[in-house]
Amino acid sequence: MKKLNVEMAVGVFLVAGFLCFAYLSVKLGDVNLFGDKTYSLTARFHSVSGLKEGDIVEMAGVQIGTVKKIELDPNEYEAVVHVDLQGDVRLQEDSIASIRTAGIIGSKYVDITPGGLEDYIEPGGEIFETESAINLEKLVSKYIFEKE
C-alpha cells in the first residue's frame, strides 16, 4: 500500500512538471493555441532598411502588433510591409506609419500615429501615409561631403 502511494505521488509530480513545461513553452514561444484576435494591414515604404519580420508595431509607446511579412513590389519598387494588429485597436484612414529606431543603434520598429478622421481602415486594408526609415549613413555622408 505504501509503495502504491509513493508511485502515485511520483506520477502526479511528473504530470505536473510536464504541464508546467508545456505552459512555459507556449508562453515563451509566443504561440497562440486558440487564435489571437488580430487583423492584418499593409503599408508601403520607399525604404525599410533594418526592419525585419517579427519586429514590433507601436502606438504611443505601447505594442499593438507585429511585422508579419516584408516583400518587394516589383512594379512600384517599394517595400510592402504586412502587419498584424490587435483586434481591439482601430486605425483611422489618415493614420501615419513610420519606421523608427529604438535608441541610437537599436532595432527598428513601426510607429503608428493615429489620424483624426472618423472612418477606420478595414481589416486587410492599407495605411497610405508612411514615412520611411532614416538612413544615418546617407545623412552623415551628405553633411561631410556636401559642404559649400
Determine contact, residues 96/110, Cβ cutoff 8 Å. Answer: no
- First and final C-alpha spacing in the chain: 94
Q: Name the pLDDT band for 132 (thresholds 50, 70, 90).
A: confident
Q: What is the mean pLDDT of residues 107-127?
A: 92
Determine contact, residues 117/92, Cβ cutoff 8 Å. Answer: yes
Report the range of poorest mean pLDDT among 31-35, 44-48, 68-72: 31-35
| Rounded alpha-carbon distances, angstroms, from residue 43 to 64, 70, 78, 109 | 15, 10, 10, 13
Q: Name the pLDDT band for 103 (thresholds 50, 70, 90).
A: confident
- What pLDDT shows up at residue 82? 96
Determine contact, residues 126/43, Cβ cutoff 8 Å. Answer: yes
Give yes or no for residue 105 having a pLDDT over 80. Answer: no
SS (H, E, C) 83-129: EEEECCCCCECCCEEEEEECCCCCCEEEEEECCCCCCECCCCCEECE
Determine contact, residues 58/51, Cβ cutoff 8 Å. Answer: no
Grid coordinates given for 27: 508562453
Q: Each residue of 74-88: pLDDT tens digit?
A: 998 999 999 999 988
- What pLDDT shows up at residue 32? 60
Give yes or no for residue 33 having a pLDDT over 80. Answer: no
- What pLDDT shows up at residue 36? 65
pTM > 0.75: yes or no: no
